[in-house]
Amino acid sequence: MTKELELNQVWPNWPFPTSKPEQGPKIDNTMYSPTFITANNSTDTITIPMPGTTGGATFVFADDEYEEDSTLNILDERAKNYGPFIDMATITQNLKEILHAAPSWENMDADQQESLEMIVHKIARILNGRPDYADSWVDIAGYARLVSERLEKGIIR
């Protein structure tokens, strides 16, 4: 992840349209004169101009933070709970084939279909991974509840 992307995660509501990639995103706000966030790759810092200061705010980043791939870390963690994705995907697709072949499938509302598809996704995670991982069971109950509340009480979440 680049330093600019990480900064945009910290302040997601600030408009940072990119105008000069080598200088980073431009602050587009009437409180500021047109100024650029600058990233110094040799020192792993980003400086942001701030009102009332002469130099702005400087953020320092750890070198190893950018060497790791956060997506791979998440995938590895998920594999511990749910097993290999390719195996889980095969189970999920087989269960979905059963759903789609059922006589009432075409007559269901979109939320009913999606709820059932998400439930079989969670079932596949349980069958392929750790059956004692409570999160999957909670999710199954949640997807069923979304539909039951709409049908019984007219509540749409």
Tell me what the mean pLDDT of segment 81-107 comes to.
97
User: Would you state the pLDDT for residue 17?
Assistant: 46
CA angle 90/96/102 to nearest 5° reads: 145
User: Would you state the pLDDT for residue 33?
Assistant: 44
User: Would you state the pLDDT for residue 69?
Assistant: 85
Sign of the Cα torsion 134, 140, 141, 146 reads positive
Q: Between residues 8 and 132, which one has the greater pLDDT?
A: 132
Domain boundaries, given as residue ranges, for the chain: 3-66, 70-152
Read off the pTM.
Answer: 0.57
Q: Between residues 19 and 120, which one has the greater pLDDT?
A: 120
